Amino acid sequence: MQVSANKVVSINYTLTDNSGVVLDTSNGRGPLNYIQGIGALIPGMENGLEGKSTGDKFQIKVSPENGYGAYVSEMVQQVPMSAFGGQEVTVGMQFEAGSDEQRFIVTVTEINNDMVTVDGNHPLAGKELNFDVEVLEVREATAEELAHGHVHGPGGHHH
Ligand code: ZN
């Protein structure tokens, strides 16, 4: 069966950056199961998987535009330490920020005396992504899975 909209697809994948550093992998965690065509994966992955079949092994190169977006320097901000209400702040910590309409995660990237630099970009923003992919299984999604927008059973939701 081929990957197309409303199919449940099971894949193994390894994601590397352009210098070959592994950023993410399903190895040791089990396959990723998702529903094709509903925006569960970044556009570049769904496009690259469309039409592939069980057993196919291939590479997908994803541009930032089809991945996690361009790196937006305006999303890097300096915040006074006093804004954190006295809690200990360290580089690498993540906080939720934004308004009720749009919540996003910011990461502390630098601390300089009393100024804290926070970055609201996705960690993979602005990066070209290289996926090694193997398609393990393709099947029809059930009506219930489509209604819920996620995969049920092994490797998916249980409820
Ligand atoms: Zn469900």
pLDDT, position 96: 87
- Beta carbons of 31 and 52 less than 8 angstroms apart: no
54 vs 9: CA distance, rounded Å: 9
pLDDT at residue 155 is higher than 80:
no
Rounded to the nearest angstrom, the distance between the alpha carbon of 155 and the centre of ligand 1 is 12
Q: Averaged over 63-74, what is the pLDDT?
A: 95
Which protein residues have a CB closer than 5 Å to ligand 1 (ion)? Answer: 148, 157
CB atoms within 10 A of CB 113: 7
- pTM for the whole structure: 0.82
DSSP letter for 157, please.
B
In 3D space, the residue among 59, 60, 76, 58 whose CA is nearest the CA of residue 125 turns out to be 76
**Share above pLDDT 70 across residues of the chain, in percent, rounded to a whole number:** 100
One fold for 7-68+125-148 and 73-119? no
CATH number for 7-68+125-148: choose from 3.40.640.10, 3.20.20.150, 3.10.50.40, 3.40.50.300. Answer: 3.10.50.40
Give the pLDDT of residue 135: 98
- The yes-or-no verdict on residue 158 having pLDDT over 80 is yes
Q: What is the pLDDT of residue 152?
A: 95
pLDDT digits (tens, 9 = 90+) for 37-65: 999 999 999 999 999 999 999 999 999 99
Q: 114 C-alpha vs ligand 1 centroid, how far in Å?
A: 46
Tell the burial category of 111 from Cβ atoms under 10 Å away from its Cβ (0-12, 13-18, 19+): middle
- Sketch the domain layout of the chain as residue ranges: 7-68+125-148, 73-119
Q: Which has more pLDDT, 154 or 71?
A: 71
pLDDT of residue 80: 95
Q: Assign domain 73-119 to a CATH class.
A: mainly beta
